[in-house]
Amino acid sequence: MSRKASVPANSVALTRRVPRKRRFAVIMAGGVGSRFWPWSRRKSPKQMLALTASRPMIVETALRVRGMLPDENIIVVTSRDLGPAVSKALPWLPARSLLCEPLGRNTAPCIGWAANEILSREPGGVMAVLAADHLIEPKEQFRRALREAFSLAEASEFLITFGIRPRGPETGYGYIEAGKKLYPESPLRLVKKFHEKPSLVKAKRYVKSSKYYWNSGMFVWKAAVIADELRRYLPEMARGLAGLEQSRRRGRIAAAALDGVYPGLESVSIDYGVLERSDRVAVIPATFEWSDIGSWDAVAALWEGDKLDNLSRDPLLVLDAGRNVVASRGKPVALLGVEDLVVVDSGDALLVCKRDRCQDVKKIVELLEKLEGSGSALRKLL
C-alpha cells in the first residue's frame, strides 16, 4: 500500500491542531541486555553501547525523536544505578525528565509512572513509548510514522501498538493478531489477540497469514487512557503509583518515596498486565525497518560481510574461516579454520560462542552472578 493511503485524512487535520508540547516520548532504558556480555555490564548495559552506530543506542533513540517535540517532553525511565550515565549521554535532558527507578519492575510500573509524570504536566498529553535499545531506520520514515500514530492517538481512545510485518518465522517475538480495520483511510486495525512467543510451526503459520505482526514493544496513546486502563487491570499498581504522586514536590518525586513504593509494585509487563486484556488496543503496521537487536547474531546481520560471510567492523585475518561474527573494538582478530563462531572482545574479557548459542550468552552472566558471592575476581565482569 502506498504511504499516502496510510494517512487518515482526519489525523492530518489533527496534527495541525494539537500543540507540539502535548506530545511526549517515553524512552524505557532500564534493561541490562546481558546477551551482549562482555560488552554489556551492569554499568554499561546494551542501550549504552554503540552496537548499531557510532553513538550509544540510547542516544540514537533520543535523537530519532528529538526536534519533533520539546526536549523536556522526552522522558527517560531508567534504573537509579544508570541515572548518571544516561544523564551524561543525554546532557540536554532536564533532570525532571529522567525518572530513576530504585529497582526494575518490568514495563507496567515504568509506563505508569511516566504517564503520571506527563499528566502532572499536561492532562491532555499523548505519549509514545519507545525502547532505548532497538534499531529503527530510516529516521525520517520513523518520524512520519510516529506523527501519524500521535495523530491517531490524539483523535481516539485507542492504545496503539506498532506491529512489524514478520520477516520470518521468528520464535523469539510475541505476535499480534490484527482484527477489523478501524478507519477507511488508515491501516489502523483493532487487535484481536496477542500471541505469546510461538512454536516454530505456529510461527510459520503466522508468517503466511497477513493478519499477524511482531509486537515491537513500541506504543502510542493518551497518558490519561493508559492511566485509566492501569486502574482497571492493575488497580493495586495504579494505587501504588498514585501514592507516589502524593509525594510530588516541585514536580519531582523523592527517592525515599520511590524506595517505599517500588518494591511493593507487581513486576509485570504492560503487554501482559494491560494490553492482552484491554479491548481498545489497535495495531498500525510499521512503515520503517525495525529490529530489537536481541543478540550478537542480530547485530552482526547489520554489518558488512567478507566473501566468506565473516561479519565484523574490525580488522580480520582470515584463513579457511567463514560465517563468523567478530566484535573486538578495533583489535585485529585472526580466524583460522573456524566457522559459525561469535567472538567478542571487551578488553577485559573475551567471549567465544557458537552462533546458534547467542541467546545463551546471558547464562554466562548468570554464571558470573553465582560467583559474585564467592568473592571471585570475576565479579568485576558483571
**Residues 363-382: x/- map of binding to a second copy (CB under 8 A)?**
xx--xx--------xx--x-
Among 71, 259, 309, 356, binds a second copy (CB under 8 A): 356
Nearest residue to 68 (alpha-carbon basis) of 98, 23, 111, 13: 23
Minimum distance of a second copy from residue 321's CB (angstroms)? 8
Count of Cβ atoms closer than 10 Å to residue 35 Cβ: 21
189 touches 178 (CB < 8 A): yes
Among 256, 331, 369, 372, binds a second copy (CB under 8 A): 331
For residue 98, what is the enclosing H or E element?
A: strand 98-101
- Tell whether residue 190 is a contact of a second copy (CB under 8 A): no
Part of the chain binding a second copy (CB under 8 A), chosen from 5-13, 141-149, 253-261, 345-353: 345-353
Cα dist from 154 to 26, 160, 261, whole Å: 16, 11, 31
Minimum distance of a second copy from residue 293's CB (angstroms)? 19
Minimum distance of a second copy from residue 308's CB (angstroms)? 14
| CB nearer to a second copy: pick between 157 and 320 | 320
At 242, the amino acid letter reads A
Cell representation of residue 97: 525528565
Between CA 212 and CA 166 the distance in angstroms is 8
Among 38, 45, 187, 198, binds a second copy (CB under 8 A): 38
Among 224, 242, 338, 382, binds a second copy (CB under 8 A): 338
Q: How many CA atoms lie within 13 Å of 157's alpha carbon, on the beta-carbon side?
A: 8
| CB nearer to a second copy: pick between 9 and 378 | 378
Between CA 19 and CA 125 the distance in angstroms is 10
**Residues 285-324: x/- map of binding to a second copy (CB under 8 A)?**
------------------------------x-x-xx---x
> Rg of the chain over CA atoms, in angstroms?
21
Total residues contacting a second copy by CB under 8 A comes to 37
- Tell whether residue 332 is a contact of a second copy (CB under 8 A): yes
Q: Which residue has the cell 529522567?
A: 98
Give ∠ CA 185-190-194 in degrees, rounded to 5: 145
| CB nearer to a second copy: pick between 268 and 381 | 381
Among 20, 354, 369, 372, binds a second copy (CB under 8 A): 354
Part of the chain binding a second copy (CB under 8 A), chosen from 6-14, 141-149, 265-273, 342-350: 342-350
Q: Which residue has the cell 574490525?
A: 314
For residue 326, what is the enclosing H or E element?
A: strand 325-327
Part of the chain binding a second copy (CB under 8 A), chosen from 127-135, 186-194, 276-284, 328-336: 328-336
Count of Cβ atoms closer than 10 Å to residue 52 Cβ: 20
Beta-sheet pairing, 325-327 with 311-312: parallel
Minimum distance of a second copy from residue 319's CB (angstroms)? 6
What 3-state DSSP class applies to 218?
strand
DSSP single-letter state for residue 322? B
Part of the chain binding a second copy (CB under 8 A), chosen from 5-13, 139-147, 169-177, 330-338: 330-338
**Residues making contact with a second copy (CB under 8 A):** 37-38, 315, 317, 319-320, 324, 328, 331-338, 341, 343, 345, 348-354, 356-357, 360-361, 363-364, 367-368, 377-378, 381
